[in-house]
Amino acid sequence: MNYRHAFHAGNFADVLKHVVLVMLVEHLKKKPAPFFYLDTHAGRGLYDLSDASAQRSGEYKDGIGRLLEAPPRELVPEVADYVRLVRESAGPGRSAITAYPGSPALVAQLRRPDDRMVLAETLPREAAALRKALGRQRLLSVIESDGYAALKAHLPPRENRGLVLIDPPYESDLEFDRVLAGLGTAHERWPTGTYCIWYPRTGRAGPERFHRELERSGLRRILDMWLAVLPHDARVGMSGAGLVVVNPPWLLEERLRELLPSLHGLLAPEGLGGTGVEWIVPE
């Protein structure tokens, strides 16, 4: 599949990724020591969901659109925190639909003055848009680079604590091999870091093989979570999405088992699809 973010920004898969990302960053902030954040496929930072690309797909309407319209009492605390950040990202006088934050913008909102960010984006136009969206900020770098090369160039970080988000477009099933190789290299350089890998769930065998290879990788503490809005065998490009977290924080599994069914109820009110949380490799 080809996951062009301008078409898919704000959809259910984005919502899943961002809710968990906010949870991971908030956990890092529980300790006073600064953290490091690396985004390997950063994108443009802010997305106008009213433009032609987003309107053509309309996917955001069944993603962030549902959350923005939901009564506050229906949002569990972590989802409510995410919705608040989305609204705040737009700033005064702007709609959350016209300035929807991607992962870099969310982390930039959440980080503290001494927390450091490196945002890698290989496409020059997207990298330029990202610089414009975030402006000049202390300890924030936008690099025009292949994301997998950034793993080698920027790990291990001097902070020795932090998070890496690996979120490629999966233009072919071979992307799973690149993710596995990149994760292996990164983990070898920085075994104590937390790694969050987004992946699509489709009718293809890519995710299943990905999980098998992770199980055989020799890495420990690999948690998988997923949310689907259609049956797995649905004849669509993407029926669901998942996240693999290596070295997840304590209690993330427990919290997700409560949170994901609630989030699924908002994103798939017809009850199709489902959710899951399981260890690919435990302690």
* Catalytic pick among 48, 115, 167, 224: 167
Give the dihedral of Cα atoms 104, 105, 111, 117; nearest 10 deg. 30
Active site residue 167: yes
Distance (Å, rounded) from C-alpha 120 to C-alpha 142? 6
Distance (Å, rounded) from C-alpha 193 to C-alpha 157? 9
Distance (Å, rounded) from C-alpha 7 to C-alpha 124? 18
Give the Å distances, CA to CA, from 252 to 17, 25, 210, 218: 14, 12, 22, 22
Please, what is the angle between helix 124-134 and helix 103-110, to 10°? Answer: 30
Distance (Å, rounded) from C-alpha 16 to C-alpha 20? 6
The first and second tokens of residue 82, run together, are 């995410």
Distance (Å, rounded) from C-alpha 211 to C-alpha 86? 31
Number of residues written out for the chain: 283
**Could you give the residue numbers annotated as active site?**
167
